[in-house]
Amino acid sequence: MVARSSEVRRSAVRSASPGAGGRRRRGAGRIAGLGLGAAALLVSLTGCDVGKAFGGFGWPQGGITPESQRMYDLWIASCIAALAVGVFVWGLIFWCVVRYRKRGNELPVQTRYNLPMEFLYTIAPILVVSVLFYYTAVVQTDVIKESKNPDVTVEVVAFKWNWQFNYRDGQGRDANTVASVLGTSEVIPVLVLPSGRSIRFEETSRDVIHSFWVPELLFKRDVMPGNVRNTFEVSRIDQEGAFVGRCAELCGSYHAFMNFELRVVSPEKYDQFLAAKKAGKSTQEALGAIGEPEYATETKPFDTRRDVNNFNPSDAQAGAGS
């Protein structure tokens, strides 16, 4: 009896709406059109700097290398794609809420086995994920690419809790250090690099795992002790100036003070700086010789405030006891 009545209802629905199949096809066509429109919008929007207008969608802006720009573009394009999909899905939800809101006790048409719809919501997510995967793989491969002969090679040596930067005459462990910059508790190490040249960073640690991070490079890589020698390369730095660098791996008590400064200067100034260092000048003297500030301008030296007795307002030295 129940089966029969539902059969009757279904046939009634079919006869009451002879154009249901056509409408469904038109609906699927409209959805496909919307999808195509969103894709076209995505392609056209990636041509302009939409990210800037929306604060980078949370991604840090101000990258100073072509690699950082590529990562930024990938992020912006992914956000726009996510927004397009989001708007499409939210639109469908609201449309269904309004179009199929309850109008009486009659059950609305139950749509099942709608092949175009099922095809759409199976294929569309696979397509979206594939496109995102493809562009991520392309950008990642590009960003971690290393050339055979970079213009400059710097060995980054991390230790608790400072940095040493060795300018090398080649790549790998067997190359020689031709000049060096060493940070101390009183002096922030200034890593001087040229603009417009490719730079290889080779990282090694004397003790625990650290992480070499200059936010403007939008690239961060762990500095490992032992045999692992992480490397990465930037094809050039586009902007001259001073940029603070940090350790981005919790490495011990004074991790937070493990800052350095990246000073990007013109290639001519860089050559003069290196020549001065090779001639035996200190980093500060060499910086002064090329007309640059001798000390870091963007960050302060190691300030542990060990000599300040925070718990006792008297002038007693910390650790002096009572």
Residues at the site binding Cu ion, with contacts judged by CB under 5 A: 210, 247, 251, 255, 258
The single residue listed with the structure tokens 């090329």 is 290
- Min dist. Cβ of residue 75 to Cu ion (A): 27
Nearer to Cu ion, 194 or 245 (CB): 245
The single residue listed with the structure tokens 């397509």 is 127
Task: Sheet with 210-214: list strands edge to edge.
Answer: 190-194, 260-265, 241-247, 210-214, 219-223
- Min dist. Cβ of residue 162 to Cu ion (A): 9
Give yes or no for a contact between 234 and 199, defined as CB atoms under 8 angstroms apart: yes
Nearer to Cu ion, 179 or 181 (CB): 181
Distances (CA, A) of 29 to 39, 89, 91: 15, 16, 16
Q: Token digits for 191?
A: 């890593």
Which residue blocks in the chain are alpha helix, DSSP H?
2-16, 20-45, 50-53, 66-99, 115-143, 267-278, 283-289
- Min dist. Cβ of residue 251 to Cu ion (A): 3
- Min dist. Cβ of residue 257 to Cu ion (A): 10
- Min dist. Cβ of residue 158 to Cu ion (A): 6
- Min dist. Cβ of residue 301 to Cu ion (A): 16
Q: Token digits for 94?
A: 């609201």
Find residue 160's DSSP bridge partners.
none
Q: How far apart are CA 65 and CA 70, in angstroms?
A: 9
Nearer to Cu ion, 59 or 254 (CB): 254
Nearer to Cu ion, 150 or 189 (CB): 189
| Angle at the Cα of 271 from the Cα atoms of 270 and 275, rounded to 5 degrees | 115
Q: How far apart are CA 299 and CA 183, in angstroms?
A: 13
- Min dist. Cβ of residue 248 to Cu ion (A): 8
| Angle at the Cα of 68 from the Cα atoms of 198 and 248, rounded to 5 degrees | 95
Helix axes 66-99, 115-143, angle to 10 degrees: 170
Nearer to Cu ion, 83 or 209 (CB): 209
Nearer to Cu ion, 203 or 216 (CB): 203
Nearer to Cu ion, 190 or 237 (CB): 190
- Min dist. Cβ of residue 205 to Cu ion (A): 8
φ and ψ of 154, to 5 deg: -120, 130
Q: How far apart are CA 132 and CA 78, in angstroms?
A: 7
Nearer to Cu ion, 210 or 269 (CB): 210
Nearer to Cu ion, 79 or 256 (CB): 256
- Min dist. Cβ of residue 163 to Cu ion (A): 9
